[in-house]
Structure 1
Amino acid sequence: MNESLLEVNHLTKYFPIKKGLFNRTVGQVKAVDGLNFTIFKGETLGLVGESGCGKSTTGRSLLQLLRPTTGEIKYEGRNMVGLPPEELRRLRKDMQMVFQDPYASLNPRMTVGELIAEPLDIHQAASGKERTRRIDELLEIVGLNSRYADRYGHEFSGGQRQRIGIARALALNPKLIVADEPVSALDVSIQSQIINLLQDLQDQFKLTYLFIAHDLSVVKHISSRIGVMYLGGIVELANKRELFAEPLHPYTQALLSAVPSPDPLAKKSRIVLPGDVPSPANPPPGCAFHTRCHACMAVCRTDKPELRDVGGRQVACHLYNQA
């Protein structure tokens, strides 16, 4: 697992704020602001954080569905940022996405077979009988009957629609799948089925996942490592066992304190964060978390902490910036 598949260096994604008669740019929403991380082959890297922290924007930027403002995204050593469209299209065969809403991600005018075959048609990967065989095979792989190929998306339940989305993502035999909150819109009973399916597929096809979610219990179950995001940046990145056993960053500590315990007799100290998440259009100076942090120091208000190694994990916090 030490061989890297995807390397992200100083990634930013800013959205312009436009106002006035002449639609002038008056500011920027810093959705992703200086990300650095690596995804290793065969692992599942979980990405967690509050709504609006930049998780989904990160996932879409990695696949170039949103073009990054600055930074590098190296896939197997090759920087994808700024590649000509034709070269990027060839690389995209190796990277696919499973979207959050299993209904909105499926074109209601297309049959299930047409939806699954769309990547095959775009990349001219199969035609005729081979195309039909591949559609049937993919449906069977995700636990659906091949006879469903002539039906439409609205005829299926949420869990079945997400299986169709997964089948489409597998069509071109990708190496990396970005799963953007793939179970958050599903019933709890169905969530476990989809999570187990993703794990089985990972073992079967040697897949690598970036798993984006806000449910820490789901992320703990499926991930190898976990990155915690706050206001466009990663504040802690660690092995899941270390992270849950001993969170270092004050924000991670607050997040984990909110996870319900299955033991009704267990006493847990809840850390309640004051105030609201600052606006990414006007982030605070220094550490982005200092306005809500119980351990805030003077340096936190002026200097932005870097993500650095602390005892085998990475943390962006001045509490651990010792010489």
Structure 2
Amino acid sequence: MPTPLLEVKGLKKYFPVTGGIFSRKVGEVKAVNDVSFEVYEGEVLGIVGESGCGKSTTGKALLRLIEPTEGEVIFNGENITKLDREAMRLKRRDMQIIFQDPYASLNPRHKVEKILSEPLLIHGIGDKEERKRKVREILEIVGLPGEHASRYPHQFSGGQRQRIGIARALIVNPKLIVCDEPVSALDVSIQSQILNLMEDLQGQFGLTYLFIAHDLSVVKHISHRIGVMYLGKMAELAPNEDLYSNPLHPYTKSLLSAVPNPDPDLKTDRVILEGDVPSPSNPPSGCAFHTRCPECMDICKEVDPEFKEFSDNHFVACHLFNDK
């Protein structure tokens, strides 16, 4: 097996809950609770799950945009959770992010040229003329005219703004890009354009993506492997085709049954989950999914299942498969 470009081991991110007159800590929200996975060079690892399952927090924590509570993030053989602020700043040239909201992630007071040249300035790449040239080049690469560098973000549509967001992540030539729901804020007609652009760029620049989304059809289109998260934990991780043809975890089955099928004559068995997602500040004992699981057993209520390999490269955390 090749060495992974990114290795996440036991990642945890807890947010304190405060209360009372003196704002003392009265609890904690376990947003990411012991997540481990690997991303190999040149692949796209998709992470899916319901809103609030911890996928975006995972992406931001492994880039240290928010500091992890526990765990290791090994990027290119180096544990980046141990780096000081300056070393981490230098490392960010290789690790970039595309944010979910193209309206909020671009500074409305700055022209596109300033927004895109800022990463070059921070990392000391090129002189003023070279930075100008690189900005125009990268705009052409993402499908916008170079002269649009003199415009402000409000003069662009949502899809165009997301292209600018992609250009900003790409301009320092990173190895890994965390894509935090990059198409969920866009019209459906624009989503496919942005996804196709990202696929083309991956081939052109040899990029590695961690692609976070809640739309399983979007993830299927772009990912090589897919991880399914539930309440801060990884429930299942498998190659793309394997996950869609042979889902193991009851939660994965329910998610896949909700994906619309374009064939009106095809009848699918819809798995409706009872109840709501439990609070991450007070997760249930045992398996976090047992309160909604249609196949819940007694052991599920008391023992947290181990996340382990069931078949070739297909991992699952479920007591249904623990004795197989």
Instruction: State the percentage of identical aligned residues.
Output: 62
Q: Which residue of 2 aligns with 1:134?
A: 134
Using the TM superposition, give the Cα deviation of residue 27 of structure 1 relative to its aligned residue in structure 2, in angstroms. Answer: 0.2
Aligned counterpart, 1:101 = 101
| Residue 82 of structure 1, CA deviation | 2.8
Aligned counterpart, 1:263: 263
Unaligned runs of 5+ in 2: none
1:15 aligned partner, one-letter code: F
State the match for 2:40 in structure 1: 40
Corresponding residue of 1:316? 317
| Residues 76-95 of structure 1 mapped to structure 2, 5 A cutoff | 76-95=76-95
Could you tell me which amino acid in structure 1 is paired with residue 247 of structure 2? P
SS in structure 2 at match of 1:178: strand
Mapping of residues 290-309 of structure 1, within 5 Å: 290-309=290-309
| Aligned match of 1:16 | 16
Displacement of 1:77 in angstroms is 1.5
Structure 1 segments unaligned to the other structure (5+ residues): none
2: distance between equivalents of 1:153 and 1:68? Answer: 32
Kindly provide the amino acid, as one letter, of the partner of residue 144 in structure 2.
L
Distance 2:213 2:300 in 1: 28
Residue 74 (structure 1) aligned with residue 44 (structure 2): no
Aligned-partner Cα distance in 2 for 1:215–1:2: 29
Q: Distance in 2 between the 1:285 and 1:65 partners? A: 30
The question of 1:30 aligning with 2:30 is answered yes
What CA distance in whole angstroms lies between the structure 2 residues aligned with 1:287 and 1:31? Answer: 16
Flag as ranges the 4+ runs of structure 1 deviating above 2 A: none
Distance in structure 1 (CA, Å) of the matches to 2:174 and 2:32: 25
Question: How many Å apart are 1:76 and its aligned residue?
Answer: 1.1
Q: State the shift of 1:201 in Å.
A: 0.3
- Deviation for aligned residue 1:241: 0.1
Following superposition, the deviation at residue 36 of structure 1 comes to: 0.6
In the alignment, does 2:232 pair up with 1:229? no
Partner of 1:118: 118
Write the distance in 2 (CA, Å) between the matches of 1:221 and 1:228: 16
TM-score, length-scaled by structure 1: 0.99
Classify the secondary structure of the residue corresponding to 2:97: strand
Q: Tell me how far 1:3 sits from its aligned partner.
A: 3.1
State how far apart, in whole Å, the 1-side matches of 2:248 and 2:72 are.
28
**Which digits, 9 at most, give the CA deviation of each residue in 1:91-120, with x for residues without a partner?**
110000000000100000000010001101
Aligned to 1:277: 277
Question: Could you say which residue in structure 1 is the equivalent of 2:217?
Answer: 217
Structure 2: distance between partners of 1:106 and 1:306: 41
Cross-structure match for 2:64? 64
Bigger mean CA deviation after superposition, 125-134 or 249-258: 125-134
Two-structure CA RMSD over aligned residues (Å): 0.8
Partner of 1:240: 240
How many pairs align? 323
Q: Shift of the alpha carbon at 1:2? A: 3.2
2:223 counterpart of 1:189: no
